[in-house]
Amino acid sequence: MKRSQTGVTRHPVLKQVKAHLQKRQAMEMARNERRLFQEANRLKRLPLYLFTILDDLKAQALQRGIDVIDLGMGNPDLPPPAHVIEELGRQVKDPANHRYSRPGGDVERRLKEAIAAWYARKFKVSLDPATEVLPLIGSKEGIAHLSLAFLNHDDIALVPNPAYPVHFNSVVMAGGILYSIPTSAEHHYLPNLRSVNREVLKMSKMLFLSYPHNPTTATADLKFFQDAIGWAAHHKIMVVHDFAYSDFIFEGPPAPSILQVKEARPLAVEFHTLSKSYSLAGWRLGFAVGNRDILASLAKTKSYVDFGIFRAIQAAAVRALLGPQDYVADIVHTYRKRRDVFVGGLQRAGWHLPMPKSTFYVWAGIPLKFSALTSLEFATLLMQEAGVVAAPGSGFGEYGEGYVRFALVEPEARLKDAVTRIEKVLAMES
Ligand SMILES: Cc1ncc(COP(=O)(O)O)c(C=O)c1O
């Protein structure tokens, strides 16, 4: 192995990844040149989707016969609740459920009522099912369409960085202006809203928040939301809270809903999903709640694009929301045990990591010894040398650089195996 100018060992695998990236870029350029139809600029402006690069490398590793442990994507592996699957089985047999979903239909109404009941039970916030609840084909779809519904080319969306990529990509896709607010571990990944200057504020229309936070695992308390709502009301900015991990708290009080802030209703919407709490990611079922005018515009946008959710899935989702909830507590317990095994193991192997208090992710600063590597390079090293897939932090925005994210979506035994393999990488000569 050769020493680089920085003094850090440059593993041969890094040469490979650089070559791979260059090749991909050249291929992409060549493909663009050959194209009869150029992609729209809004598509060209999107950042490189790092998961596709890792998918390529993973496919190559699998071809070489490597047993890959994939902790890259937050794609839950646990089986969904049995009673919900049974309900889906019953519902698919009803011919009426195979027709288009219509906003005024029976199951559509029952789903909205179930969401409002679930919300009232969980957060003690009452919602009008008819106007303050909107079911979605997954929350990602809803967030993307919300940006499309509201952003003009001279409207700014404020997005803390790092973030779940759809928060910033949806702004670019909608043709709006993206303004990142840097966040850091030092400030618990909470944005300093008062750091945004007046010129920017004048053009700002939306603010994205999301706690418990993917990828950093940070949480926010009600006081933070109260301040954010007060600030946003003053500047007339819509607040979008992505609450995908509402149930995933391992320590401390339950995560608050932004709608628990009394003054939130005129300007806030909150996004939820059944993908994580009920392990139903492939079903594509999420929902938005909150301000009725914002939701009406989102529903209007969607009415031009989609025909709603498969009705059998809507009926089964009613069962998920109104049926027994022990499942949720059980899976949070499972993820907590996985966290203890994985993070505890890495800590013992000498990787200085904090124990995450929420979500099912591990946000890991690249060890000092490897700090001359980018997060993509380090993730590639883990992939090639340990057969473990992690998401490079830079995929969540430039302020995610210096970190990788592991998703705890494999059983404990596989996580133990991952630790053993990563330990060998950490012990690599430097
Ligand atoms: C913060 C956050 N929001 C939204 C989503 C998307 O969820 P859905 O499956 O409802 O589209 C995810 C998925 O990983 C997420 O992490």
Are 376 and 57 spatial neighbours (Cβ–Cβ below 8 Å)?
no
Q: Is the peptide bond before 191 cis (omega within 30 degrees of 0)?
A: no
Q: Cβ contacts of residue 80 below 8 Å, gap of 6+?
A: 278, 279, 280, 320
For ligand 1, atom 14: residue with the closest CA: 74
Q: Which residues lie across from 158 on neighbouring strands?
A: 179, 207
For 422, the token pair is 């990563």
**What is the pLDDT, as a whole number, of residue 86?**
98
Ligand 1 within 6 A of CB of 74: yes
Ligand 1 within 6 A of CB of 277: no
pTM: 0.95
- The DSSP line for 348-385 is HTT---PPP-BSSEEEEEPPGGGTTS-HHHHHHHIIII
Q: Cβ contacts of residue 229 below 8 Å, gap of 6+?
A: 239, 258, 261, 263, 264, 267, 268
Ligand 1 within 6 A of CB of 359: no
Regarding the domain delimited by 2-70+327-426, which CATH topology (the fold level of the hierarchy) does it fall under?
Aspartate Aminotransferase, domain 1 (3.90.1150)
**What is the pLDDT, as a whole number, of residue 8?**
47
The Cα–Cα gap between 150 and 171 comes to: 10
**What is the pLDDT, as a whole number, of residue 179?**
98
For ligand 1, atom 15: residue with the closest CA: 244
Task: Please give the distance, rounded to the nearest whole angstrom, from the Cα atom of residue 272 to the centre of ligand 1.
Answer: 8
Ligand 1 within 6 A of CB of 214: yes
The Cα–Cα gap between 362 and 356 comes to: 6
For ligand 1, atom 16: residue with the closest CA: 214
State the span(s) of the chain assigned CATH 3.40.640.10.
83-322
Residue 128: count of CB within 10 angstroms of its CB: 11
CATH of segment(s) 83-322: 3.40.640.10
**What is the pLDDT, as a whole number, of residue 56?**
81
Ligand 1 within 6 A of CB of 281: yes
Ligand 1 within 6 A of CB of 246: no
Report in angstroms the alpha-carbon separations of 230 from 109, 146, 221, 417.
Answer: 33, 22, 15, 48
State the span(s) of the chain assigned CATH 3.90.1150.10.
2-70+327-426
Mean pLDDT in each 10-residue stretch from start to end of the chain (430 residues)?
Answer: 46 73 80 85 82 81 91 96 98 97 95 98 98 98 98 98 97 97 97 97 98 98 98 98 98 96 98 98 98 98 97 98 97 98 97 97 96 92 93 95 98 98 89
- The DSSP line for 25-64 is HHHHHHHHHH-SSPPPHHHHTSPP-HHHHHHHHHHHHHHT
CA within 13 Å, CB half, 173: 14
Per DSSP, the chain holds a count of helices (H) and strands (E) of: 15, 14
- Angle at CA of residue 393, ends 391 and 394, nearest 5°: 115
